[in-house]
Amino acid sequence: MRKSFSVFDAALLGQALCDALARLSPRAQWRNPVMFVVYLGALFTSLLWLMALAGESEAGPGFILAIALWLWFTVLFANFAEALAEGRSRAQAASLRSMKRSTMARKLEQPGYQSRCSSVSSSDLRCGMWVLVEAGELIPLDGTVIEGLASVDESAITGESAPVIREAGGDFSSVTGGTRVLSDWLVVEITVNPGESFLDRMIAMVESASRQKTPNERALSILLVGLTLLFLLVIVTLRPYSVFAVEQAGSGQVVSLTVLVALLVCLIPTTIGGLLSAIGVAGMSRMMQANVIATSGRAVEAAGDVDVLLLDKTGTITLGNRQASEFFATPGVTPAQLAEAAQLASLADETPEGRSVVALARERHGLPERSSAELQAEFVPFTAQTRMSGVDLQTPQGLRSLRKGAADAVRRHVEALGGSFPAPVQQAVDAVSRKGSTPLVVSDGARVLGVIELKDIVKPGMRERFAELRRMGIQTVMVTGDNPLTAAAIAAEAGVDDYLAEARPEDKLALIREHQAAGRLVAMTGDGTNDAPALAQADVAVAMNSGTQAAKEAGNMVDLDSDPTKLIEVVETGKQMLMTRGALTTFSIANDVAKYFAIIPAAFVGTYPQLAALNIMHLASPESAIVSAVIFNALIIICLIPLALRGVTYRALGAAALLRRNLLIYGLGGLVVPFAGIKLIDLLLTALGLAWA
């Protein structure tokens, strides 16, 4: 589904031009107050031109027509920038909409594989109904797997060709409408109504019409409107002053209304005013190109202001899929006995770690292969609260209660049964933890049998990425269920700033609230139901598409690739949007300085001849200077459209360094470029021999 739409795509350019023309209506222009002033100026100068043709004007019709046309072009270019940004979003929405299709589904009367079923259209399904989906069939609507296990092709949503496993229970039970089952079968409980599916929400999210202005964007809009009103008041007072000066001097020429309109348009922040909306739309579009669906522009902007990143250890900082590498038996227990107990406690554990324990026991000690189905046993699943799993097994000698889990959890379990936690076991736990590995303790009832070492590997390049974030002033916090020693070893190797060990759902929530109480913005990722409270609390919450429905509903972003490290990319995209807005605002304000030297001497030289000394660019004539400034004011908008859509190049620098860079490139550039641009346009107009009669 991942698709990039070029700024220079011919189809997009054509459609954007048509949309720009369609927006030349008062109702459409009113939404942008700055450009609405330019729009009124274009209408007013057009009226003055018609009056000039009838011989009722203070300036020549050629000069007025040139000003009027370029004011219309200014409005058109601003419309074109926004239309092009929204056109890219619509193209992305159209590609998503093409994935929607009405399919036939097998609706079950009862929630079970053996239940009777009837064929219905997917549009007739409702929340709470059950459907059976077998190999080769499309999942009709979003839902939760309540029975079965199957591989599912989600490439239409995520763009990844590798199928994923979906099964009942756990954090991988959520399925998305429009994806295809490749093997086996699933019984799915529908969790949405038609029109409310994840695909529908994705389409609505990327539709530009649904984008709301962010707080910073609204604040900047207020500033731009304030500056516009200020300049408007200044321009209104200039006409009486000019009339008074000419009357008192008995000579000179009153500044014309056309010149005043041109002066107003050149002085108000038209550059950033014309591009502001396009920058916001393009920010959400870049998120979409990264395969991240943002529910609002506020979430994208908040990502750029994040102070603290909460990152899960497994799968984010480390490669995940920890592998069992060694058994450390308690004195009096043979390694084979420990391996057998660990194998039995792991038979129902389908995680990579659980399977690696079974494999290590078989390879090291020649234990026979067993399956959970052949045992008369009651298996105890792992939970975030108990942090243990195991099996209660009936044997000729009686009931064996085998447990495998975190050291502190097994300690509490053993002590609750009247046993004790041997010192050698604690020493083994500490030794494994100091190496950065994860210790799992195995117990048989009240007796501790030993320790299993799980090795975890930090992903390449993570230390460098965290160093970049640190230079940006962002604190990184690793969240893990491991014990403090293991967490400290991994944190030191990865280079994170802090860590939270033995983290439970309530611990994550408390940590987020603690940082927010200190005035910091917090971002985190999550995929499980137990992550939902923390995701709902975080300022930027990226939920994995492979995770549960609860996690996706709690987050304000959904990562279609289900890549936990995407959070770092999300932060970079948010910062890029803020940097782009700041850079273009700086450039726009700096532009005005050059325009002062071009248009103010030209506008008032007839009233105050002494102002000719300020014509430092040596422009050919007052009329040529004014027209050149207006043309530059229009062209600079269209020249900056690619930058507004693509974004300013992101670099991981501190705030002070970013400010210096911004002022040097866009502040100084905003001063120099207009001098050169206006002079070149003036030379071209002079070379063409245009007369402004």
Residues carrying an active site annotation: 312
Q: Are 607 and 245 in contact (CB under 8 A)?
A: yes
166 contacts: CB under 8 Å, gap ≥ 6: 145, 149, 150, 151, 152, 172, 173, 174, 175, 186
Taking the C-alpha atoms of residue 72 and residue 385, their distance in angstroms, rounded to an integer, is 65
Integer Cα distance of 211 and 203 in angstroms? 12
Q: How many CB atoms lie within 10 A of CB 576?
A: 22
How many Å apart are CA 546 and CA 165, to the nearest integer? 9
Q: Which of 23, 114, 84 is nearest to 641 (CA)?
A: 84
Annotate 251-305 with DSSP letters as a single string: -S-PPPHHHHHHHHHHHS-HHHHHHHHHHHHHHHHHHHHTTEEES-HHHHHHHHT
**Distance in angstroms (rounded) separating the CA atoms of residues 326 and 314:** 20
- As a whole number of angstroms, the distance between CA 330 and CA 313 comes to 29
Fill in the DSSP letter of residue 190: E
CB 619 within 8 A of CB 601: no
Which tokens hold the place of 97?
């909409």
Pairing of strands 104-108, 117-121: antiparallel
Check: CB of residue 237 under 8 Å from CB of residue 245: no
Give CA separation, 35 vs 85, 591, 636, in Å. 17, 17, 15
Q: What are residue 104's DSSP bridge partners?
A: 121
DSSP assigned state of 123: G
Pure H helices in 480-621: 484-494, 505-517, 532-537, 549-554, 566-604
Q: Which residues fall within 8 angstroms of residue 240, CB to CB, at 6 or more apart?
A: none
DSSP per position, 194-261: TT-SHHHHHHHHH-GGGPPPPHHHHHHHHHHHHHHHHHHHHHHHHHHHHHHHHHHHT-S-PPPHHHHH
Q: In 405-483, which residue ranges form alpha helices assigned H by DSSP?
A: 407-416, 423-434, 462-471
Token pair belonging to 670:
């905003």
- Whether residue 544 contacts residue 564, with contact meaning beta carbons closer than 8 Å, is answered with yes
Classify each residue of 287-312 as buried b or exposed e, where b means 16 or more C-beta atoms within 10 Å of its C-beta: bbebbbbbbbbbbbbbbbbbbbbbbb
- Return the C-alpha torsion angle 575, 578, 584, 587, nearest 10: -80
CB 139 within 8 Å of CB 130? no
The Cα–Cα gap between 17 and 381 comes to: 60
